[in-house]
Amino acid sequence: MAHKGIREYGGEESGNVALGQLGFKVLTGSTNTGDGNFVAFKVIGGAATLTAAITTTVHIGDALVITALTGEIIWGPFKRITVGAVGSGVKVLCYYGRDL
């Protein structure tokens, strides 16, 4: 079944997803989440000018390749989030969505 984006979730559930209440996986260095259902990722740690190179595969739509600054949060129906080069002390929080 194809992922329906935010319409995949009910009212209370979409609120929990938006707040990150389903948990998250922390990535440091060159690694990936493995296949799953992720609704967002946020780059944290280090100075505001530090970055993380991130490549994603998605359940619906086009894949994303981005260099994100510390503090940025990116939303989407992500299947896998892969972190390449990161600045010193930078981590990426990958927020879980509900299981498909």
**Domain residue extents for the chain:** 5-96
Taking only the tens place, the pLDDT of each residue in 87-98 is 888 999 999 887
Distinct helix (H) and strand (E) counts, the chain: 1, 7
Q: Average the pLDDT over 63-78 and give the result.
A: 91
Nearest-angstrom CA–CA distance, 50 and 46: 6
Nearest-angstrom CA–CA distance, 76 and 41: 9
CATH number of 5-96: 2.60.120
pTM: 0.78
